[in-house]
Structure 1
Amino acid sequence: MSSSFPTANKPPFNPFGWLIAGIPVMDRYIIGELIPPFIFGVGAFSSIGVAIGVLFDLVRKITEAGLPLTLALEVFFLKLPYFISLAFPMSMLLACLIVYSRLSSDSELIALRSCGVSIYRLVLPAVLLGLIMTGITFVFNEAVVPAANRRATITLNRALKGNEPSFREKNILYQEFRKETTPSGERENVLSRIFYAREFNGKEMKGLNILDFSQNGLNQIVVAETATWNPIDKTWDFFNGTTYTIAPDGSFQGILRYKKQQLQLPRAPLDIATTTTDPIEMNIAQIRQYLATTGEGGNVKETRKLRLRIDQKISFPFVCLVFALVGSTLGVQPQRGGRRATSFGVSLVIIVFYYLFTSICEAFYQFGILSSLLAGWLPTLTILVAGVFILMRINR
């Protein structure tokens, strides 16, 4: 005789059931309420951004420059990830304001508070969701946005100019430094060579001038019509040029004209010429690699801008977490009536303040008042401190 158990009411197999079962019912409820307005916010804010930042310009290029519609659509969708990434923090703020304001106006938060749930525990689901979105935003900004923006630029330039200018075309300058020990025993950077090319067409450098200071003073000047990088020998091939040897007293010691000459110079000038310097087309690793390549010889203004962008790229994803804290904190305050109509307006005020303060910090950094680290993190930290202060005040 065999026994069997009824299986009609057995729940379907769920491989993530252990994870869901570990989340308290209140957290699941609040997070479930946050997701729909968050998705709505991403769609709304990214649509506004892409319409203002891309759509109008593409329409003008279609009508005035003859940009094909298919390529315009391709550029439009390639630009979309950038505005989606900008919408993540704003949508987090909007969702928290809407949901927590509704819970407060419907007295659901009062019921939870009467059961002994603290304010800190009420905002925890929003903070956790904000933390998750922080990680997603960081990965999205590093893996998707720069590549999509770069591809959009190349596609647009190829369509309008008939080429693919993935390189710097004019005035390539590279300064090579070496380490030397001073009489006091300290190590310092000393200029070794200056590499200058008037033009780069994607294959060869044109109008080259090399100043060699490797022997403690200007000792050689190399001038050439063109030069190309030789990947096999890992040298530069210079064509149709002249080498001037300089004596210690500054006079010409010798002049050598050549058709072709190989020089043992670093590949760095080619890396500088072929690397984009637009921060929205570079991730953090690419910016750091570019700064390491240019070293102390890079354009000072450009170098400072890129150093600031590194800190901003690191701090920006954490705005999702900060906005989640601020939005939920403002929303849990007791409400007599619904604030759904004003949530969007409050979000815009906070967002405008954040970006305005970001611009002010950038200006202070350019004037040397703030460091790149402080200028990149101060807007986020300011709103974080304000959110924590409001939260502690409400909890009293």
Structure 2
Amino acid sequence: MAPRRLLRPVQLLWERLPLMDRWLSGELLGPLVFGVAAFTTVSLSVGVVFELVRRVAESGLPVAAAMQVLGLRLPGFLVLSFPMATLMATLLAYSRLSGSSELTALRSIGVSTTRMVVPALGVAVLMSLLTFAFNDLIVPAANLQAAETLNEALGRSVATEKGSNIIYSRFSLRPANNDSGADRYLSQLFYARRFDKGEMQDVTVLDFTRENGTQMLQARKGTWNVEQGMWEFRDGQVVMAGGEQGTTTSAKFDRYLYPLDQGPLKLAALPKDAASMSVGEALSAEQLLREAGDQKEARRMRVRIQEKFAFPTICLVFGLIGSSLGVRPDARTSRSQGFGISVLLIFSYYLMSFIFSSLGVKGTLAPFLAAWMPVFIGLAGGLVLLRQASR
């Protein structure tokens, strides 16, 4: 009974739609399912299946673990197929209706071309929302679980791969010499060669807050002491250099508690790929990278955050382009031709997205423009095609 109650509002909304919209939306359903299946199968085979088969044959990966990894990676490739399937579905459905003169019949009773593509845009908006939901709620957790499952099956440590060359900068404020307020300065610099199972190895910490000079701490390993709320370093030495006398002193230690926040630990635990983060996690990661002084990675993360919002709108762009191409009076496109045209348009769009994304990461473009310019260009191109089809 509960599923029926949930579906009832959807059914009432569907029934309230005009008959023409329901008819055209129904015509899009078949090609849409076909496109999702086709593009997911191709991309999944190239991106995952061949690699898993190689690992089963060469690395002894259990077949059960390979199937589990395949299932966990499936949502990520489904998300990639949604925009491509939207383009193919709108192109094929409207081309078929145009070829059978059904769109001509609609024009004869006064239905404009723009009105005809409204159902396609509605389906594209729904696909955009579905893409965003998958990309934010399902894909990050599934990708992380897939990586952990694969590493465990191959007998590798996940934590070892997560952290290497950890650099964390901590900035503080000090009173300025003039009336401009406080100056922000680098107070501590943390470096660890490797992060393994919650433990920092080969640690060096530079502390610029000491009044009598600069303190350098070197330790073989360091862990976060929860009870003390500080870092606990083992087997190292502390060197104090500088000061008014210009002297240098050093002292060895077996155990040393050092007051620093958990920033290095959080930084080491960050996923290397933004695709393994939700929007909320990416925002937190960007703030952490910015506070750590890694401006390049922080800028890269800002671009990826904008792309998380821009990517789902590709469905709307492709829906507009596909329906505008298919609604033309002389449009006649078979499934094979539609697949070929879709692949060409998709390749061109993603190439443009890659170029703009690289410019954003480099700093040439603002993160917002780097992520959204391909969308704006695609929408402009779709509107031009729609205008041409309306003549």
TM-score, normalised with respect to structure 2 = 0.91
Offset of residue 312 of structure 1 = 1.5
CA shift, 1:337, in A, is 4.7
Deviates more, 1:128-137 or 1:302-311: 302-311
SS at match of 2:169: strand
Does the 8 Å CA contact 2:290/2:298 hold for their aligned counterparts? no
Change (3 A) 1:327 1:386: same
2:55 maps to 1:81: no
Given the superposition, is the C-alpha separation of residues 237 and 107 from structure 1 closer, same or farther in structure 2, using an over 3 Å criterion? same
Mapped partners of 2:59, 2:227: distance in 1: 42
RMSD (Å), alpha carbons: 2.3
- Indicate the residue corresponding to 2:129 in structure 1: 135
- Which stretch shifts more, 109-118 or 330-339? 330-339
Deviation of residue 341 (structure 1)? 4.3
Aligned residue type for 1:380: V
1:380 Cα deviation from its structure 2 partner: 1.6
- Bigger Cα displacement from structure 2, 381-390 vs 179-188: 179-188
Q: What amino acid is the match of 2:171?
A: F
Structure 1 counterpart SS, 2:170: strand
Structure 1 residues 324 and 239 mapped into 2: Cα distance closer, same or farther (>3 Å)?
same
1:176 aligns with 2:193: no
> Where does residue 284 of structure 1 map in the other structure?
279
Q: What's 2:240 paired with?
A: 245
Contact 1:157 1:165 in 2 (8 A): no
1:346 has 2:341 as partner: yes
1:325 and 2:291 are equivalent in the alignment: no
Note the alpha carbon deviations across 1:241-285, whole angstroms, 9 max, x for none.
222233424734543333222221010101111221212212222
Give the AA of the match of 2:251. Answer: L
**Are 1:225 and 2:235 an aligned pair?**
no
Distance in 1, matches of 2:346 and 2:23, equals 27
For residue 325 of structure 1, what is the amino acid of its counterpart? Answer: L
Matches within 5 A, 1:90-239: 90-165=84-159, 168-180=162-174, 182=176, 183=178, 185=180, 188-215=183-210, 218-239=213-234
Structure 1: distance between partners of 2:110 and 2:211: 76
Q: Distance in 2 between matches of 1:319 and 1:14?
A: 30
Offset at residue 218 of structure 1 (A): 4.8
Structure 1: 5+ residue runs without aligned partners?
A: 1-12
1:45 is matched by which residue type in structure 2? F
Alignment of 1:38 onto 2:32: yes
Would the alpha carbon gap of residues 207 and 15 (structure 1) be closer, same or farther in structure 2, given more than 3 Å must change?
Answer: closer
Q: Cα gap change, 1:188/1:41 in structure 2, threshold over 3 Å: closer, same or farther? A: farther
Counterpart position of 2:368: 373
Residue in structure 2 matched with residue 268 of structure 1 by the alignment: 263
The C-alpha deviation readout for 1:33-58, integer Å capped at 9, x for no partner, is 11111111111001100101111111
User: Aligned partners of 2:61 and 2:365: how far apart in 1?
Assistant: 43
Label 1:121 to 1:240 Cα distance change in 2 as closer, same or farther (>3 A). same
Q: Distance in 2 between matches of 1:370 and 1:264?
A: 39
Query: 2:326 matched to 1:335?
Result: no
| Residue of structure 2 in register with 1:10 after alignment | none
Q: Percent identity?
A: 38
Render the CA deviation track for 1:186-222: whole Å, top value 9, x for unaligned.
6553101001112222132222211111247953222
1:278-313 Cα deviation digits (max 9, x unpaired): 122122222221221232545454434322211211
Instruction: Report which stretch shifted further, 41-50 or 344-353.
Output: 344-353
2:32 maps to amino acid? F
- How far apart, CA to CA, are the structure 1 residues paired with 2:389 and 2:213? 69
Query: Residues of 1 paired with 2:264 and 2:208: CA distance?
Result: 17
> In 2, distance between residues paired with 1:107 and 1:187?
73
Structure 2: which 5+ residue stretches go unaligned? 1-6
Report if aligned partners of 2:212, 2:242 keep a CA contact under 8 Å in 1. Answer: no
Alignment-derived partner of residue 391 in structure 1: 386
| Native 8 Å contact 1:167 1:274 kept in 2 | no
Note if contact 1:173-1:298 (Cα within 8 Å) is conserved in structure 2.
Answer: no
Q: Identify which of 310, 315, 324 aligns with 2:305.
A: 310
CA contact (8 A) 2:279 2:305 kept: yes
What amino acid maps onto 2:202 in structure 1? Answer: G
Cα distance in 2 for partners of 1:219, 1:86 equals 51
TM-score (norm 1): 0.90
SS of corresponding position for 2:243: coil
Indicate yes or no: 2:63 matched with 1:69.
yes
Separation (CA, whole Å) in 1 of partners of 2:332 and 2:276: 46
1:338–1:208: structure 2 CA closer, same or farther, 3 Å change rule? Answer: closer
Alignment: residue pair count = 384
The secondary structure found in structure 2 opposite 1:370 is: coil
